[in-house]
Amino acid sequence: MSDFDPQEVVLRLFLRLRSNLKLGVSEYLAARQAAVEADFAADAEALEDTLKLIWCHSLIDYTQFDPAWQSVLAQVQAQRRRRPPFPERRRAASDLRQRQIESVSQQQSPVAMPQMTQREKRSDPEMRALPVQAPTLFMPEENVATLQSYYPISRRSLVYNWRYLRRPVADGPKTVLDIAATVQQSTRQGFYLAPVYVRKLRNAARLLLLIDQNGSMTPFHHFTRDLVETASKESSLDPENVEAYYFQNVPAGSVFRDPYLTMPVLLAEALATCDESTSVLVLSDAGAARGYRMRDRVRGTIRFLQQLKRYTTLLAWLNPMPESRWEGSSAEVIAQSVPMFQMDNEGLSNAIDVVRGQPLKHGNAGGA
């Protein structure tokens, strides 16, 4: 390992890990800069540690880094071993290859094993040193992400997205000191009289969550739980203004107050609190998880949606299944009558745009 070239390793490794570790060009430049210094890249081990420091940002990242490091190091070493000692030799070798190809094309005989015969014919030792390029180098990097668990949206981005659901109304007590207005007022009057207070802002947005539970939604229970928890506890929404009702497959007649479907409430009663400014999010796979296309389900759902639209138009549907799986199932039909989004970061933020009354004007979001 005398001629260990850190820069080459850095570049290869960067290309491989870039998308998985979410690295940018400046991270590459930083790694390059560090790799020049002997302190940080004296040998392979030191470089490995340096790159980990710069590129990995959690212990989980190490599990992606380690295999990539091993294979890149192996590649670089293998390539160095293969490199012929003199450039002339290399050219000679390529000439030889040219000659070999010609000879093969000249022969063109339907021999069962042409390579065997060639090797037998040529006893020239130089032939064995013939450089063969490893085909592995430009293989597309394997996607590690598929091996990880399906977690399209993190809790953090849930919390983050909820913050866009706001309807600030200044109707709290007059307790907030407006410093700028105070200074301005006393400047205008020429003397200071009293501080200027303004009313406290309150988030008046109301949210109604209707969540499909059990059955095909069982794998997504942790999403739905996170969704309800973040909306009611970790968002800027007033907890009183967040309501969650549960149903199975289709909300018909009655919905449930608890996720275990034991406390039924009449649907009409649940919707009674709904006014035209209430945002409604329906969370269901709409049959996409199992790929069903059932007329009953579609009809029941459409009827329910029509009932809902009498109360509010701020309505969106979140589907935990990716959009590619909706095709052919009831979800595809239902998506025609309601803005339906897949439940990832972008989908949720689009859905929240819809339920706050500012839908996207462009793009192909939703089916409505």
Counting residues that bind another protein (by CB under 8 A) gives 34
Which is nearer to another protein, 26 or 364 (by Cβ)? 26
Among 101, 183, 198, 266, binds another protein (CB under 8 A): 183
Q: Kind and range of the H or E element at 73?
A: helix 59-82
80 versus 163: smaller Cβ distance to another protein: 163
Q: CB–CB of 84/57 below 8 Å?
A: no
CB of 301 to another protein, least distance (A): 34
- What separation in angstroms does the CA of 181 have from each of 111, 188, 315, 345? 95, 10, 39, 39
> Least Å distance between CB 39 and another protein?
6
Kindly tell me which of 22 and 290 has the beta carbon lying closer to another protein: 22
- Using rule CB under 8 A, residue 91 touches another protein: no
Say if strands 340-342 and 315-319 run parallel, antiparallel, or are unpaired.
parallel
DSSP strand E in the chain: where? 168-177, 197-203, 206-212, 242-247, 254-256, 264-266, 278-283, 315-319, 340-342
DSSP string across 203-248: E--EEEEEEE-SGGGGGGHHHHHHHHHHHHHSSSS-GGGEEEEEES
Nearer to another protein, 132 or 194 (CB): 194
CB 247 within 8 A of CB 257: no
Q: Is 65 near another protein (CB under 8 A)?
A: no
Considering only CA atoms, which of 28, 24, 22, 23 is closest in space to residue 6?
A: 28
CA within 13 Å, CB half, 329: 17
Which residue type does 191 have? Answer: F
Q: Rule CB under 8 A: say whether 56 interacts with another protein.
A: yes
Complex with another protein: residue 132 or 180, whichever CB lies closer: 180
Please tell me whether residue 44 binds another protein under the rule CB under 8 A: no
Binding mask 5-24 for another protein (x = CB under 8 A): -----------------xxx
Are residues 245 and 278 in contact, defined by beta-carbon separation less than 8 angstroms?
no
Structure tokens at 23: 């690295």
Which of 79, 103, 154, 336 touches another protein (CB under 8 A)?
A: 154
- Which span sits near another protein by CB under 8 A: 83-91, 117-125, 175-183, 243-251? 175-183
Which residue number, 20 or 307, has a Cβ lying nearer to another protein?
20
Kindly tell me which of 45 and 124 has the beta carbon lying closer to another protein.
45
Q: Could you tell me the smallest distance in angstroms from the CB atom of residue 92 to another protein?
A: 45
Nearest Cα to 285, choosing from 240, 236, 326?
326
Considering only 78, 111, 170, 179, the residue that binds another protein (CB under 8 A) is 179
Among 40, 223, 246, 247, contact with another protein (rule: CB under 8 A): 40
Instruction: Give the pair of three-digit tokens for residue 166.
Output: 């706001």
Interface with another protein, residue 186, by CB under 8 A: yes
Contact 330, 286 (CB under 8 A): yes
Q: Which is nearer to another protein, 40 or 304 (CB)?
A: 40
201 is a contact residue toward another protein (CB under 8 A): no
39 binds another protein (CB under 8 A): yes
Residue 33 is a binding residue for another protein (CB under 8 A) = yes
* Alpha-carbon Rg for the chain in angstroms: 32
Whole-angstrom Cα distance, residue 257 to residue 274? 15
In the complex, minimum distance from the CB of residue 308 to another protein, in angstroms, rounded to a whole number = 31
Residues at the contact surface with another protein, assessed by CB under 8 A: 22-24, 26-27, 30, 33-34, 37, 39-40, 46, 49-50, 53-54, 56-59, 61, 154-156, 159-160, 163, 179-180, 182-183, 186, 191-192
